[in-house]
Chains A and B, each alone.
Chain A
Amino acid sequence: MKQNPLNIIITGVGGQGNILASAILASTAVQDGLNVSVGETYGASQRGGAVTSHVRLYEKDQCGPLIPEGKAHLILGFEPVECLRSIGVFGNQDTKVIVNPKPVYPVDVLSGEATYPRVEEVLRATKELVDKVYVVEAAKIAMEAGNVVLQNIVMAGCLIGLELTPLTTESAKDVIKEIFPNKTESYLKAFELGVREVRKAKPL
């Protein structure tokens, strides 16, 4: 691995399935014979709060479950504002970002106590802070695979499809088959659509 540890942040909102995405990536790493450490904060996961996972791939020296400030190599953003918030803490000028541009409005916005910035504005700010930004309409692609809840699988496909990690699509598919024995077809389809989408996406 070029970077050791390789630091990946997965961020979104409770209910988007990003914890499952991090579990798939971590299991893929084990399948590929790598070491992995995952830190998760999900006390608020079912209550509309932000949920962030730190996935760290490493070779020899074990690393802790939290990525230090400014040290993320890759950020997988399930929600544009949460993605930008994570970049503020963990991003740097070399970070690569994959972001799903569909907003999930916080209750503070719905109740009129705060405003949600325009998505184009959020993406522009995102681009200013990092190296490359891949915008992927994960929710729409998930619908193609049959269900909007598969957006997390689409996003996992994007991350592995980008080939910036040593994780292989073959191992990821094995993991998906193992975790979802009854729904393998739609999950594999969502994963493959994610791989394909990110490979044809032009980064900002």
Chain B
Amino acid sequence: MHVTNAESKKRVLLMGDEAIARGALEAGVNFCTGYPGNPASEIIDTLAKAAEKFGVYVEWSVNEIVALEAAGAAAASGLRALTAMKNLGADVCSDFLMTVNLSGTKGGFVLVTGDDPLAHSTTTELDTRNYARLADIPLLEPATVQEAKDMTKFAFDFSEELGLICMLRMVTRLSHSRGVVTLGPVQTQKKTAEFSSQEMWTSGSSSITCMLHSVLHEKMRNAESKFEESEFNKYVGREDAEFLIMTSGTGWLYSLEAVKLLNLQNDVGILKLGTTWPLPTKLLTTHLKHAKEVLFIEETDPFLEQNVKIAAAELLVDGIAPVKFYGQKSNHVRGEFGAGTGELSVDTVVKALMGIRKIEYSPRKSCYAEKVQETVGSYLPPRSMSFCAGCPHRASFWSIYKAIKWHGQEVIVAGDIGCYSLGLLPTGFSVEKTLHCMGAGLGVANGFGNMKRFGLDKPVIAVAGDSTFYHACLPALINAKWNKANISFVILDNNTTAMTGHQPHPGTGVNALGDSSPRVHIEDICKSIVSDVRVVDPFELQNATQNVYEMIQTEGLKVLILRHECPLNEPRGWQEKPAVYVDQEKCVGDECGCVRFCSRVFKCPGMTWDYVKRKARIDESICTRCRLCADICPQGAIKVEETT
């Protein structure tokens, strides 16, 4: 693995997240924490692989706030600490963030957030840069994979120098990009943690808080003056360019390419900002002085756009001429769903420049676009996401779906985030009706399950995964008990954090390094709160359905743990199992009356249709040999190979 390569100056290919991990190792990081979430998971995954070699402590924490608090303690004890999470996790840790900015740090303390413009695998496009402004802490935005490494290393030094946590904002497009990186040396010097009982590490209250707040402002003034000279801010173009692009993060390379495509190199200057909070005001002034028009290119929110406008308004008193601003507010920078949505690309910048500068440009002949419309637009089928072949969630949602059918009346199913978010879609028989953030399924069920007095009297099922249970469900479960909410809580336990790449959790018996650690059993926790706790294998479809049905017939709080391991958790482990096949002599195809139950209704992607013989057929390259379909075929035509 390149990240653990001790050699420096070597050019290697790294993913953005791996570059963050490498930067941390080059900075001599000691203590790393995080909770898995796309696109940030690979940072801790990578550090865990390097932990032993470089003597670094790495943990997957139970959730993001515990992760930040644990790392904060390490940093307050003089160690270098890093915490990584996705954008929705930044919300979870924000309580602590809004106080540790005041209490400060001794060792370098870096928070890395991974935003997800276009919500590739998140339920929000939240722009976490706003947290840096809210907490008033330094913010860095890498534009390339190399910069992701370099900025991480810098962030540790800078945080230590200021005595203040620093934030680094990544986006999916950079976290999951690969690029060529020149490695630096890894720092491996041993450090001792020190926290004496003479010390106070607090954000205080009343006058102490206000005093610390004033100290924070002083630190940020210091940060701003340092950022004025930062090598992460660059300007290209004519010194007197009247048209200026101000950009950060991925927008930098997109802007360069768009300007080149439109042949505007001689007219347009590009100011790339790597340090975006606090903004380097003097640097901005230098360039605002020669600009008459400014276009902002940045991922998601108009963060630069708004903050530069505020800075520009202050400059008016210094006699700087008014500038015309373009960006999201003027509707020139817009994604498919409007300004401030979706993901940037070269094409976004091209379209903005075309609109403002009234330029004609087409990457292909207009007749080509028509031809594409005719051939591609007309008949290509969509490709919706579905549960993988052999996924236990398909069986669990089928049980819930069937139990609701048996019940014969409406049931509210509150969903949660993880692979099982797909319970909203046809692959999960569309049973889930709500979806927000980690733990919100059980949280909103506390409301839905307590509105009988207002006439909402329907059974409520809340769904959560195993990792989600530990992360965010305990307060809601206790609340449900305390306030007598009527909820059937179904926990989908597949023994892993599958959605984000199969990280361990407190129930798996291993830690981030793969070492054995004590198991925290879901049923033990539940039994200490709820009296009706059941554990069933969802592959026993009839039994699982019966249990869901029984639970929704009665009032009160009940827990059903549907436990079956994710087949991808042990890659290729399924290949050891006997093959499953369709006996096409026995399958009667469309004559059956089952309406192609195995493929059309149950929708396992391993089960396809043989369009020649008009019978079911298993695709061996997809099937994980879970045998579930062998139990559901009304003709008994799906068979498991006999082994000797």
Q: Mark A16-47, 1 if CB is under 8 A from B, else 0.
A: 00000001001100100001111111111011
List the one stretch of B128-136, B375-383, B540-548 in contact with chain A: B375-383
Q: In whole Å, how far is A110's beta carbon from the nearest beta carbon of chain B? A: 5
For window 39-77 of A, CB contacts with B under 8 Å fall at: 39-44, 46-50, 61-66, 68-71
Of B48-56, B159-167, B176-184, B211-219, the one touching chain A: B176-184
Kindly identify, within residues 148 to 186 of chain B, every residue whose CB is under 8 Å from any CB belonging to chain A.
172-174, 176-180
Check if B621 sits within 8 Å of A139, measured CB to CB: yes
Q: Are A87 and B176 in contact (CB under 8 A)?
A: no
Q: How far is the CB of A130 from chain B (nearest CB, A)?
A: 10
Q: A69-B363, A117-B379, A128-B371 are in contact. Are A26 and B13 (CB under 8 A)?
A: yes
A48 touches B364 (CB 8 A): no
Residue B144 lies at the interface, judged by CB distance under 8 Å to chain A? yes
Q: Are B178 and A107 in contact (CB under 8 A)?
A: no
The answer to whether residues A68 and B180 also contact, given A63-B253, A84-B380, A108-B384 and a CB cut-off of 8 A, is no
Complex Cα distance A42/B388, Å? 14
Does residue A109 face the partner (Cβ distance < 8 Å to B)? yes
Contacts known (A70-B364, A81-B380); A47 close to B386, Cβ less than 8 A: yes
CB <8 Å contact, B427 and A107 = yes
In the complex, the chain A residue whose C-beta lies closest to that of B599 is A110
Least distance between B371 CB and chain A CB atoms (Å): 6
B177 x A39 contact (CB < 8 A): yes
Query: A64 and B600: CB pair below 8 A?
Result: no
> A202 contacts the other chain (Cβ, under 8 Å)?
no
Asked if B614 is an interface residue, CB under 8 A from chain A, the answer is no
User: When each residue 249-285 of chain B gets 1 if its CB lies under 8 Å from chain A and 0 otherwise, what string results?
Assistant: 0100110111011000000000000000000000000
Contact of B422 among A41, A47, A65 (CB under 8 A): A47
Q: A85 CA to B260 CA in the complex, in Å? A: 27
Indicate if A146 sits at the interface (CB-CB under 8 A).
Answer: no
Contact B261 A68 (CB under 8 A): yes
Contact of A129 among B177, B180, B254, B375 (CB under 8 A): B375
In the bound complex, CA of A112 to CA of B599 (Å): 9
- Cβ of B385 < 8 Å from any Cβ of A? yes
Q: Contacts A46-B388, A68-B261 hold; do A112 and B621 have CB atoms under 8 A apart?
A: no
B 620-633 to A, binary, CB cutoff 8 A, 1 in contact else 0? 11100000000000
Closest to B178 in A: A38
Q: Give the chain B neighbours of A85 by CB distance below 8 A.
A: 376, 380
A46 touches B596 (CB 8 A): no
- Interface status of B335 (Cβ within 8 A of chain A): no
Q: How far apart sit A36 and B181, CA to CA, in the bound complex (Å)?
A: 10
Q: Report how far A105 CA is from B256 CA in the complex, Å.
A: 39
Interface centre among B116, B173, B258, B381 (most CB of A within 10 A): B381
Q: Which of A62, A71, A128 contacts B363 (CB 8 A)?
A: A71
The answer to whether A61 touches B177 (Cβ under 8 A) is: no
**A149 within 8 Å of B (CB atoms):** yes
Most interface-central of B38, B599, B620 (chain A CB within 10 A): B599
Contacts A36-B179, A85-B376, A92-B363 given; indicate if A47 touches B383 (C-beta within 8 A).
no
- The docked-state distance in angstroms from the alpha carbon of A129 to that of B380 is 15
Q: Are B387 and A47 in contact (CB under 8 A)?
A: yes
| Contact of A107 (CB < 8 Å), options: B13, B174, B498, B605 | B605
Contact A50 B383 (CB under 8 A): yes
Residue of B258, B261, B375, B388 contacting most chain A CB atoms (<10 Å): B375
- In the bound complex, residues from chain B placing their C-beta under 8 Å from that of A13 are 383
- Cα A116 to Cα B144 with chains together (Å): 39
Cβ contact within 8 Å between A46 and B121 = no
Most buried by A among B38, B260, B346: B346
Q: Which residues of B contact A92 (CB under 8 A)?
A: 363-364, 368
- Tell me the bound Cα distance from A48 to B605 in angstroms: 8
CB distance from B358 to the nearest CB of A (A): 20
Determine the distance from Cα of A203 to Cα of B422 in the docked complex, in whole angstroms: 40
Closest to B419 in A: A47
With both chains docked as a complex, state the minimum distance between the C-beta of A100 and any C-beta of chain B, in angstroms.
Answer: 12
Cα of A87 to Cα of B371 in the assembled complex, Å: 11
Closest-by-CB residue of A relative to B260 is A61
| Min distance, Cβ B46 to any Cβ of chain A, angstroms | 15
B307 CB within 8 Å of chain A: no
CA distance A13 to B622 in the complex (A): 11
| Segment 226-266 of B: residues with Cβ below 8 Å from A | 250, 253-254, 256-258, 260-261
Q: What is the chain B residue whose CB lies nearest that of A139?
A: B621
Residue of B nearest to A49 (CB): B385
Which residues on B sit within 8 Å (CB–CB) of A26?
A: 13, 178
Q: Are B605 and A41 in contact, CB atoms less than 8 angstroms apart?
A: no
Q: Considering the chains assembled together, what is the distance between the CA atoms of A157 and B13 in angstroms?
A: 20
The minimal Cβ–Cβ distance linking A200 to chain B, given in whole angstroms, is 25
CB contact between B371 and one of A35, A43, A129 (< 8 Å): that residue: A129
B257 touches A38 (CB 8 A): no
A-B contacts at CB below 8 angstroms, number: 179
Q: Is B11 close to A, CB under 8 A?
A: yes
Chain A residues lying within 8 Å of B596, measured Cβ to Cβ, are 112
Considering the complex, give the chain B residue whose CB is closest to the CB of A92. B364
**CB neighbors of B among A66-106 (8 A):** 66, 68-71, 81-82, 84-85, 87-88, 91-93, 104-106
Q: Which of B173, B347, B600 contacts A39 (CB 8 A)?
A: B173
A144 to chain B, nearest CB (A): 15
Task: Give the residues in chain B near A81, CB-CB below 8 Å.
Answer: 380-381, 383
- How far is B377's CA from A3's CA once the two chains are assembled, in angstroms? 29
Shortest C-beta distance, B355 to chain A (Å), equals: 16
Q: How far is the CB of A150 from chain B (nearest CB, A)?
A: 11
In the complex, are the beta carbons of A65 and B385 less than 8 A apart? Answer: no
A114 to B378, CA, bound (A): 12
Chain A residues positioned under 8 Å from B427 (CB to CB) = 48, 107
B253 touches A106 (CB 8 A): no
> How far apart are B265's CB and chain A's nearest CB, in angstroms?
11
**A-facing residues in B367-402 (Cβ within 8 Å):** 368, 371-372, 375-377, 379-388
For B346, give its contact among A30, A64, A114, A129 (CB under 8 Å). Answer: A64
Expressed in whole angstroms, the Cα–Cα distance for A104 and B173 within the complex equals 26
Q: Report whether B388 and A114 are in contact in the complex, using a CB–CB cutoff of 8 Å.
A: no
Contact B363 A66 (CB under 8 A): no
Give min CB distance, B444 to chain A, whole Å: 24
Q: A81-B381, A108-B383 are contacts. A148–B261 as well, Cβ < 8 Å?
A: no
Decide: B346 and A68 in contact? CB cutoff 8 A: yes
Residues of A within 8 A of B261 (CB): 68
A66 and B346 contacting across the interface, CB-CB below 8 Å: yes
Chain A residues whose C-beta falls within 8 Å of the C-beta of B372 in the assembled complex: 87-88, 91, 129
Given A110-B603, A114-B381, A41:B178 Cβ within 8 A: no
- Is A15 an interface residue when CB atoms closer than 8 A count as contact? yes
A109 and B254: CB pair below 8 A?
no
**Closest B residue, CB atoms, query A31:** B13
Are B347 and A69 neighbours in the complex by a CB distance under 8 Å?
A: yes
Per-residue interface assignment for chain B, residues 513 to 524, with 1 indicating a CB less than 8 Å from any chain A CB and 0 otherwise: 000000000000
- Is A107 a contact of B603 with CB atoms below 8 Å? yes
Instruction: Assess whether A111 is interfacial by the CB under 8 Å rule.
Output: yes
Interface pairs (5), CB distance under 8 Å: A36-B178, A38-B178, A48-B387, A111-B600, A128-B371
Give residues in A with beta carbon < 8 Å to B: 13, 15, 23, 26-27, 30, 35-44, 46-50, 61-66, 68-71, 81-82, 84-85, 87-88, 91-93, 104-117, 125, 128-129, 139, 148-149
Given contacts A66-B346, A113-B426, 15 further A-B contacts (CB under 8 A): A37-B179, A38-B179, A39-B176, A39-B177, A47-B385, A66-B254, A66-B345, A85-B380, A87-B372, A93-B365, A105-B605, A107-B384, A114-B382, A116-B381, A128-B371
Q: 7 nearest interchain CB pairs?
A: A43-B121, A70-B363, A64-B253, A88-B376, A114-B381, A43-B120, A38-B178
